[in-house]
Amino acid sequence: MRAVTWHGRGDVRVDTVPDPVIQDPTDVVIEVTSSGICGSDLHLIEVMAPFMTVGDVMGHEPMGVVREVGAQVTEVKPGDRVVVPFNISCGTCWTCSQGLQSQCETTQNREQGMGASLFGYTKLYGQVPGGQAEYLRVPFGNTLPIKVPEGPADDRFVYLSDVLPTAWQAVQYAAIPKDGTVLVLGLGPIGDMAARIAMHLGAKQVFAADVVPERLARARARGVTVIESTKQDDVVQAVRDATGGRGPDAVIDAVGMEAHGSPLATMAQKATAVVPDAIMEKVMQVAGVDRLAALNTAIEAVRRGGTISLSGVYGGATDPLPLMRMFDKQIQLRMGQANVWRWVPDILPLLTDEDPLGVDTFATHHVPLADARDAYMNFREKKEGHVKVLLRP
């Protein structure tokens, strides 16, 4: 089959790789019909490159049609249409029963000290072949795939794999009070969708900060109050002016490690391109390598007693935090990989023809799998209005 594979920093290719096969009686194999490119995928060809291996199949936002099922699979059958969550969870262990599927005790990567395995990600998370491919092996066929109805185009449902539950969790963790205010930092796919969800769930005012014109236009068109800057002073001043000097009740950081602002962290991230992987892998596990501009903006912007919700990915082990400032402001901080199945029952009823979250038109580009290399680079450079890209095998 054809699949998007990792070949080094800034280097993805579409190669021929072996077809997936049933390995366990609860496995299923799906034919992929759509698969998103995520901002987290860009981390794999940049700062997280030391944890990758040439030939790794990428992608963690797939959906498709079941083609084969293992002998013990009873919940789906060939021909069923399914979305595959990005985190691999058994659905039956203690953490899964607590709605913490991203910490699944069955697929935890204990030797790495990390949580549940992820499709198409690094050796820290199991190095499981991903879904930017023609076919995908999906374990836990009775509990992991999300069955969706026939009829609407893939765009209606594909974001259940990651974008929708990640943004939904970001809003839930933000704990926006009734008629409250929230600031979203970054209007990439997660930030854009988080702003939409916050408005849908009743936030009185949603602010969002970014500098990319296409992103700002999308948010503005849906009633978001946009701030055309990512500089801390500009953002903080704007939201304080709009909230009586107090600041928003909550801030969602949808940027993460890619934010600019720390020369030392920038230097550390650039070092991943020149220091041998075996050395840099150890450095990243014991050092702070994140550019914390977005998080520092969130800490400064949020009102006293407010909540910060982190959905942007951070990768440093010892990143410094201004704990005195956080303690003094009595900030609540919540974070983590999205627990996809925890939120599916809340989200799925919204994926109707009324389309309140605008999923049908959320993708800016639909690209053949064969053109994935160019799609990655265009998304990375934010060219030609690339906000959300779906690959079609």
User: Using an 8 Å Cβ cutoff, are 126 and 57 in contact?
Assistant: no
What are the φ/ψ torsions at residue 266 (nearest 5 degrees)? -60, -40
CB 3 within 8 A of CB 17: yes
The answer on 155 and 13 residing in a single domain is yes
The per-residue pLDDT for 290 is 58
Regarding whether 286 and 186 lie in a shared domain, the answer is yes
14 & 118 share domain: yes
In this structure, the answer to whether residues 112 and 261 fall within a common structural domain is: no
Buried (b) or exposed (e) across 15-45, using 16+ Cβ within 10 A?
A: eebeebebeeebbbbbbbbbbbbbbbbbbbb
If asked whether residues 153 and 79 sit together in one domain, one would say yes
Quick one: pLDDT at residue 148? 98
CATH number of the domain that residue 10 is part of = 3.90.180.10
Select from 155, 169, 204, 163 the least CA-distant residue to 187. 163
- Domain ends where: 314, 335, 356? 335
Q: What is the pLDDT of residue 6?
A: 97
Say whether both 201 and 344 belong to one domain.
no
Is 290 found in the same domain as 184?
Answer: yes
User: For residue 321, what pLDDT is reported?
Assistant: 86
Same domain, 224 and 313: yes
Whether 157 and 13 map to the same domain: the answer is yes
Residues 75 and 189 reside in one and the same domain: no
In terms of domains, do 373 and 357 share one?
Answer: yes
Q: Domain range for residue 171?
A: 164-335
Task: Residue 272: name the closest of 4, 10, 3, 6 by CA.
Answer: 10
Q: What is the CATH number of the domain that holds 194?
A: 3.40.50.720
Could you say which of 286, 320, 335 is where a domain stops?
A: 335
Domain tally for the chain?
2
pLDDT value of residue 329 = 98
Distances (CA, A) of 276 to 27, 54, 119, 229, 266: 37, 14, 25, 36, 17
pLDDT at res. 287: 47
Give pLDDT tens digits along the chain (393 positions). 999 999 998 999 999 999 999 999 999 999 999 999 999 999 899 888 889 999 999 999 999 999 999 999 999 999 999 999 999 999 999 999 999 999 999 999 999 999 999 999 999 999 999 999 999 999 999 999 999 999 999 999 999 999 999 999 999 999 999 999 999 999 999 999 999 999 999 999 999 999 999 999 999 999 999 999 999 999 999 999 999 999 999 999 999 766 444 444 444 545 555 455 555 455 555 444 457 889 999 999 999 999 999 998 776 666 788 999 999 999 999 999 999 999 999 999 999 999 999 999 999 999 999 999 999 999 998 888 899 999 999
Reference 99, options 41, 39, 173, 203; nearest CA is 173
198 and 287: one domain?
Answer: yes
At 314 the pLDDT is: 77
